[in-house]
Amino acid sequence: MSAREPMPTADGAEPPALVVDARGQRCPLPVIELARRIGEIPLGAVIAVLADDPAAALDIPAWCRLRGQASLGAWDTPDGPRHLVRRVS
């Protein structure tokens, strides 16, 4: 199978420590925004990225693999797709 992470079953089990709004931004800007901001949260915390660019669904997990972070998956929300990443390094 592809290298994508499995999708968790529920969103919001754990409130994110930081929400980054990258809606309306085209690739690779949502990933750049994620890379810039993840240092603001403590190890073990979760950052949420709101991104409606279709590439983000692939590129955020790919970035996590490159940077040793944990992609928790993406959900459709009333605010658009919401991607969750746990800072593990």
Partner 1 sequence: MTPATPPAPPAGYLDAATAEPLHPAARAVLAAAYEQGWADPGRRYASGRRARALLDGAREQVAAVLGCRSDGVAFLPSGSVALHAAVRGVLAVPRAQPRLVASAVEHSAVLHAAAEAEARGLAVARVPVDAGGRIHLAAWGEAVGGGAGLACLQSANHEVGTRQPLGGAYAACREAGVPLLVDAAQTLGREPVPDCWDLLAASAHKWGGPSGVGILAVRPGLRCDPILPPDGREAGRWPGAVALPAILAAATALEAAAREAAVESPRLRALTDRIRAAFAAVPDAVVLGDGEDRLPHIAAASLLYADGESLVDALDREGFAVSSGSSCSSDLLQPSHVLVAMGVLTHGNLRVSLPRGVADGDVERFCAVLPGVVAAARAGLGADGL
- Residues engaged in binding partner 1 (CB under 8 A): 1-4, 26-29, 31-32, 35-36, 53-55, 58-59, 61-63, 66
The Cα–Cα gap between 42 and 88 comes to 9
Look at the block and give the residue holding tokens 């996590």.
64
* Residue number with CB closer to partner 1 (3 or 43): 3
End-to-end CA distance of the chain: 26
| Rg, Å, the chain Cα set | 12
Query: How far apart are CB 15 and partner 1 at their closest, in Å?
Result: 26
Task: Pick the closer one to partner 1 by CB: 32 or 88.
Answer: 32
Q: In the bound complex, what is the minimum distance in angstroms from residue 44's beta carbon to partner 1?
A: 22
